[in-house]
Structure 1
């Protein structure tokens, strides 16, 4: 169960096609060309289908606002510059991050077919949804995918500091398997993503201790509506802080994109270009082993791990990514759960834009 499903009350589930069509209508209404709106809607709906509830339709009102106020370019001219045999840099022209990063992933896959490995960076982009969206794209082509980005706001301090100068800077890795679901690790470098904090605030729920601390005294902060007074805690103490730093330098500084004090908080500023940076790596498995042999070996190791002895108190051993498949199939059949509060926001958005509202 996702964080959103655990947050009651919920409205009636909405079909994935209903969500996709609503997102597309909204984005077309604010100026995205139909093909671009359809692509973004597809990726945002996939986020909801796989359980990344803080990165799907939940983000639509914010995206719409930024497009309307000029914070996002509705009609970007995205450019891919091949900088060496195995590298490229994508200039997103301040377009929707989903468009920029899907193009970057396509470039990485194309290059990796030629060279065996590709590293593609991106600049002048925007928030692009969950990291797993892009790490899984090479997997579908028999490749290993690795993705990271500079988060679209700073909510963490460097270890021992009190100024929010690091983001939740995510890391996602996708590894193909055979009969088993592919291994998909998608983690924030903080204890939880800031989107989850926003979701809890929308639900009126308290957040658990251990997620945030108060900047003033370092004590736990559990009221998500006071999150501006707090800092997200890193995973693993100083290790998570260090990982966020490294990923920020690779996704941001290396690409001529924002990092540190240069990051624009897209939650508080709807008009300024964020110059969000990302990178994606694609690695062709066949350059190391026969793809089918590798997949069979991955299957074997995953089964060994899943069937290993369990620690008392654990009913099962879960492999990263395996629940995405079941959740996707379940939500495709039974619909995507939306909180009543989110449903009201989407109804308000439909009225504001003059489009057909979301259908249950």
Structure 2
């Protein structure tokens, strides 16, 4: 089904307030969830909302808390998420990194003791809207084996890179695994296979069956050994800069919580050759658009363009959400 965007935001906000979140934070969190689904990232939007509410009810998310600054180490600020809502904390820390970049050209905020940030691309878009390049990442609970092992020891540690470009910034929003668990759950619910190999099944074979991969929890790292190495490095850097937990330590907790994150913003406005930089960005992205497609009738896009198309469709027709997910959300809305 399709739900008007404003209605989705309103219902999310109402449910969040019923579960103890302040009106201001509920409005922001609701918008971030709805933005994810509006832009086509359903697995980290409406699909994840009921689980987020359960985490509040179970005491893993403290909706009364926001991230607070603890200290400065040179150009790096360390913040404590206080186990607050992950998307609120991430938004606050990205805002702070942008503010620092406006003052010092670059801003770095390292956050610990926070929760899952939901759709990570939201925060890259947030920075790009302020004409800032953004680089941000998080660690996670162990959910992937290091390359060459069967033991689930490392996180798939999502990372975002964003580059401002008119109203359609370049936004690379990826995990260090071929697919996130949210995407696998969505493929399973829709009865679809992964479009490419995504993990290892119970017989030790490479598989595109999302249900089989979810059972083994053996995701394929992006680029095999390369994604494995990247995930390990991102984990250790995030934990080191923030003074927070590593993936190994997060894995000792009952659920994925108290994760470590890094937010870096670089202000394009600080560079004297800003116009020339913007010209080169535009030329590069135009060249990608004009590249010869592999298959006739298709078009080559740069990362972030698909988001714009899905957003326009959502604004015209309503935001897509699976019936069973919306029914679960409406139960929360009615019952509180």
What TM-score bracket applies, with the shorter chain setting the length?
over 0.9
The reply to whether residue 58 of structure 1 matches residue 47 of structure 2 is yes
Deviations 1:139-191 (A, max 9, x none): 1111101111113x32211100111112221111111124x721111111111
User: How far apart are 1:209 and its partner, in Å?
Assistant: 6.0
TM-score by structure 1 length? 0.86
Aligned to 1:161: 149
2:162 counterpart SS class: strand
Shift of 1:56: 0.8
Secondary structure in structure 2 of the residue aligned to 1:167: coil
Q: For residue 312 of structure 1, report the CA deviation from its aligned partner.
A: 5.3
Offset at 1:136? 1.9
2:207–2:213 contact (8 Å) kept in structure 1: no
Cα distance between partner residues in 2 of 1:236 and 1:292: 35
CA apart distance, 1:62: 0.8
Aligned 8 A contact 1:71 1:273 in 2:
no
Partner secondary structure for residue 240 of structure 1? helix
Measured in 2, the distance between the counterparts of 1:258 and 1:228 equals 26
- Specify the SS of the correspondent of 2:110: strand
Report how far residue 341 of structure 1 moved. Answer: 2.2
Whether 1:31 and 2:20 are equivalent positions in the alignment is yes
Q: 2:169 matched to which residue of 1?
A: 182
How far the C-alpha of 1:67 sits from its partner, in A, is: 0.7
Match of 2:58 among 65, 69, 73: 69
Paired residue for 1:326?
309
SS in 2 for 1:252: helix
- Does the CA contact (< 8 Å) of 1:162 and 1:215 recur in 2? no
1:340 is matched with which residue?
Answer: 323
Partner in structure 2 of residue 140 of structure 1: 129
Further displaced range: 244-253 or 168-177: 244-253
Determine the structure 2 residue equivalent to 1:233: 220
- Unpaired runs of 5+ residues, structure 1, are 1-10, 354-360
CA distance in 2, matches of 1:43, 1:220: 33
* Pairing 1:246–2:246 present: no
Q: Give the aligned partner of residue 17 of structure 1.
A: 6
How far has the Cα of 1:225 moved from its partner?
A: 6.9
- Relative distance call for 1:183 and 1:273 in structure 2 (3 A) is closer
Q: Summarize deviations over 1:281-315 as a string: whole Å, max 9, x none.
A: 00112333443332222111211222133445673
Cα distance per residue 1:168-220 (max 9 Å; x no partner): 21111111124x72111111111111101122333344445611213663453
**How far is the alpha carbon of 1:137 from its aligned partner?**
1.8
Structure 1 residue 25 displacement after superposition: 0.8
1:1-360 paired onto structure 2 within 5 Å = 11=1, 13-151=2-140, 153-178=141-166, 181-207=168-194, 210-214=197-201, 217-220=204-207, 222-224=209-211, 227-264=214-251, 269=254, 274-311=257-294, 315-353=298-336
* 1:244/1:226 CA distance change after superposition, 3 Å: closer
Tell me how far 1:85 sits from its aligned partner. 4.9
Distance 2:256 2:151 in 1: 22
Counterpart Cα distance in 1 of 2:74 and 2:268: 18
